[in-house]
Amino acid sequence: MLRLYTHPACLQHDPGPGQAESPARLRAVLQALDHDRFAAIDRVEAPRASREQLLRVHDAAYVERLLSSAPASGTLRLDEDTLMSPASAEAALRAAGAVVAAVDAVIAGRDGHAFCAVRPPGHHATADQAMGFCLFNNIAVAAAHALAAHGLKRIAIADFDVHHGNGTQAIFATEPRVLFISSHQSPLYPETGREDERGVGNIVNAPLSPGDGSYEFRELWDGMLLPRLHAFKPQLVLVSAGFDAHRDDPLADLRLNHEDFAWITERLVALAPAHAGGRLVSSLEGGYNLSALAASATAHVGALLD
């Protein structure tokens, strides 16, 4: 069983012309998934995250500021890359709410996968700061929900976006019930994610070098990251699914192709039944070449479906 969570508001968050993180990204993903091959997917409209859910990882002052600062027209710049438009607060609530609802569903269903086709993305957002296109940290809000509302004791977050998930790492750096595992290009924005950033032993950073491709990526996950995931015995696997390590992506210099995203997804899916009752929730992060993003996301969702 595969559920797809999304919401029209996620298409209305519009940082404006010339921004890499654009509504066209999500449109490309949803169009590619609108295909007979994906007819069996259960499509669900994402609810809003509640204040209580957001406050498990975000500061109250930050949540209030974000929810009240969407401009009436045009855009408001929060940092160099992060802008809000009139629909952005609603989109951010739906994006975080999607991942929370997906966690509820896979836990209730015992063996299920879910993909959240949402934006704004989340993994750069910290407890009190929007950055790198991210407003709320969707995957972190969902992980905190699984801990608090479902009483899970071991949750793994696998992040293969080409950028380091600095926000997710910062939020869980002292939380041993969450294992955060990331492969990412270094050097690259946001310039965090060194191997010696280990949290309380629950953070595993595996930098790749510019120019690295399928071989290096697979070797890293097979040799080091997947064994760490297995050893942790996660009761739930969450995935920060960014597709910007693709060779055609304009924001980075790794050389993956869409089949590598099917490969890593199959590996993560294979891991889930051993410990997690098959429960896996994936959420869209980056990916900025529209055709590469569509091909990669369909490869990922295809592997979740099979």
Q: Which residues are catalytic?
A: 124
Residue 293 CB neighbours (<10 A) = 26
Least distance to Zn ion from the beta carbon of 287, Å?
Answer: 7
**Under the criterion CB under 5 A, does residue 25 sit at the interface with Zn ion?**
no
Query: Which residues 6+ apart lie within 8 Å of 221 measured at CB?
Result: 183, 264, 267
Which of 3, 163, 255, 300: binder of Zn ion (CB under 5 A)?
A: 163
Query: By C-beta, is 175 or 249 nearer to Zn ion?
Result: 249
CB of 252 to Zn ion, least distance (A): 7
- Least separation in angstroms between residue 117's CB and Zn ion is 16
Using rule CB under 5 A, residue 193 touches Zn ion: no
CA proximity to 63, closest of 130, 121, 133, 13 = 130
Binding mask 82-121 for Zn ion (x = CB under 5 A): ----------------------------------------
Number of Cα atoms under 13 Å in the Cβ half of residue 149: 18
Which is nearest to 276 in space by CA: 82, 167, 128, 146?
146
* Count of residues near Zn ion by CB under 5 A: 5
- Judged by CB, which is closer to Zn ion: 20, or 67? 20
Nearer to Zn ion, 163 or 300 (CB): 163
Handedness of CA 296, 102, 126, 201 (dihedral sign): negative
- Find out whether 136 and 92 touch, Cβ atoms under 8 Å: yes
13 binds Zn ion (CB under 5 A): no
The residue with its CB nearest to Zn ion is 286
Binding segment toward Zn ion, per CB under 5 A, in 33-41, 48-56, 221-229, 237-245: 237-245
Minimum distance between the CB of residue 200 and Zn ion, rounded to whole angstroms?
25
The span of 69-77, 101-109, 146-154, 156-164 binding Zn ion (CB under 5 A) equals 156-164
Which of 161, 175, 212, 260 is close enough to bind Zn ion by CB under 5 A?
A: 161
Cα separation, 175 vs 158, in Å, equals: 16
CA distance 260 to 241: 12
Pick out residues in 241-260 that bind Zn ion (CB under 5 A): 242, 244
Question: Which pair of tokens denotes residue 89?
Answer: 């607060």
| Under rule CB under 5 A, residue 159 binds Zn ion | no
* Residue ranges in 270-299 that form contacts with Zn ion under rule CB under 5 A: 286
State the burial class of residue 255 (Cβ atoms within 10 Å of its Cβ: 0-12, 13-18, 19+): buried
Q: Which residue lies nearer to Zn ion by CB, 94 or 163?
A: 163
- Nearest approach, Cβ of residue 191 and Zn ion (Å): 13
Q: Specify the stretch interacting with Zn ion by CB under 5 A; choose among 138-146, 162-170, 273-281, 292-300.
A: 162-170
Asked if 150 and 142 count as a contact pair (C-beta separation under 8 A), the reply is no
Taking alpha carbons only, the member of 91, 2, 6 closest to residue 39 is: 2
116 within 8 A of 130, measured Cβ to Cβ = no
**Residue among 164, 298, 149, 305 at smallest CA distance from 236:** 149
Q: What is the C-alpha separation between 242 and 32, in angstroms, rounded?
A: 16
Least Å distance between CB 142 and Zn ion?
18
By beta-carbon proximity to Zn ion, the closer residue of 97 and 242 is: 242
Nearer Cβ to Zn ion, position 90 or 159?
159
Interaction site with Zn ion (CB under 5 A)? 161, 163, 242, 244, 286
